[in-house]
Amino acid sequence: MTLSHSRLDQLREFECQLDPQKPERGKIPARVLGYGEISTVFEIEAAGLRGLALKRLPSFVNQIEIEKYTATFVEYNRLLEQDIGLQLPARDYAIVTNAKGRPVFYIVQQKLPAESIGNRAIHQLSHEQVQSLVRRVLRHARQVWDFNRRQNRIQVAIDGQISNWSIDGESLRYVDTSTPLFRIDGIEQLDTELFLRSAPSFMVWILRAFFLKDVVNRYYDFHRVAVDLVANFYKEQKPELIPDVIQTANEFFAGEAQALNIAPLTAKEVNDYYKEDALIWSLYFNMRKIDRFLRLRVMRGEYPYILPEQIKR
């Protein structure tokens, strides 16, 4: 996919008129498809941009930062697609400038059918089909750890939660590559300080000292990725599936992924993980709302991030 000059001009115009506090009420109509911690996915109702899913990342302060991220993003996609063998959606990216003169990065993908995304699909599939989907996700994720074991120089991470996969017939596509985590000779290629840009200013030092390293490391650990995948069924309001999903994961690790020597998951581990994760992210979200109020109302500054009205955990 290649973004034409006319589409790029439309995207620049959209960004310049965007009010992050009222993203769907601008001169150019847009609909929010999803929220991330530092990103928002839009469908923009402009002739040249209809049918595209555009993920907006406003965390950058200068051109050097965004150029480094771009190189990391491109290489991560290449690693997943060419070296590891995952299927990714057709994509492009664009760098535009907002009304304040700061660079904003957009990931551009063809919009996929909503019902094909894993967290939507699990509400439509049968019990057995959900177990099959989880097994397929684990098989695709295993390709990352097989690659990591084949050599020592490059180690690639992945976020395997169910919402990051799209069902395309008999195939799965990994749809969220906006957090390009991989290490070369042990050195993280992504500037992980970008995660802290959206954090409340009064919490940054706490997050850096106690949480950042652990959050990043979890995506290099197949066992913890699997725990996150299973615990995600709580968030998606399907807790009744969790016992069988745990069994499916453990059968996978004991059988076809036995060579990776992954410890089995337990119900207590998944439940404890979910409770802790939900508590932390709910607190974090509420602190972000306070930070937004302080930046906008007290300091009369800007707040470039888009927050949902509420989150469901």
CA distance 232 to 226: 10
* Domain enclosing residue 146, as ranges: 114-188+222-280
pLDDT tens digits along 255-297: 999 999 999 999 999 999 999 888 887 888 889 899 999 989 8
**Domain-embedded: residue 217:** no
pLDDT tens digits along 91-113: 999 999 998 889 999 999 989 99
Whether 125 and 268 share a structural domain: yes
- What pTM was estimated for this model as a whole? 0.93
**Domain-embedded: residue 156:** yes
Q: Which CATH number covers residue 81?
A: 3.30.200.20
Whether 32 and 178 share a structural domain: no
Asked which of 84, 110, 136 is the last residue of a domain, the reply is: 110
Whether 83 and 139 share a structural domain: no
CB 117 within 8 A of CB 163: yes
Q: What are phi and psi of 76, to 5 degrees?
A: -60, -45
Whether 41 and 120 share a structural domain: no
CA distance 14 to 49: 10
Whether 135 and 255 share a structural domain: yes
The backbone region for 302, taken as left when phi is positive above 0, alpha when psi lies in -120 to 50, beta otherwise, is: beta
Whether 85 and 137 share a structural domain: no
Asked which of 92, 110, 128 is the last residue of a domain, the reply is: 110
Whether 62 and 26 share a structural domain: yes
pLDDT of residue 103: 94
CA distance 79 to 75: 6
pLDDT tens digits along 30-62: 999 988 777 899 999 888 898 899 999 999 999
Task: Specify the higher pLDDT residue, 172 or 306.
Answer: 172
92-96, 123-127, 297-301: range with lowest mean pLDDT: 297-301
**Domain-embedded: residue 24:** yes
Q: Quote the number of domains for the chain.
A: 2
**Domain-embedded: residue 15:** yes
Q: Which two tokens stand for residue 1?
A: 């996919």
Q: Which two tokens stand for residue 146?
A: 């097989």
CA distance 281 to 273: 12
pLDDT of residue 84: 98
Whether 90 and 157 share a structural domain: no
Whether 252 and 175 share a structural domain: yes
pLDDT tens digits along 183-242: 999 999 999 999 888 888 888 888 898 888 999 999 999 999 999 999 999 999 999 999
Whether 138 and 79 share a structural domain: no
CA distance 106 to 57: 6
Asked which of 110, 143, 163 is the last residue of a domain, the reply is: 110
**Domain-embedded: residue 127:** yes
Q: How many CA atoms lie within 13 A of 235 on its CB side?
A: 24
**Domain-embedded: residue 295:** no
pLDDT tens digits along 205-220: 888 988 889 999 999 9
Element (H, E) at 284: helix 267-293
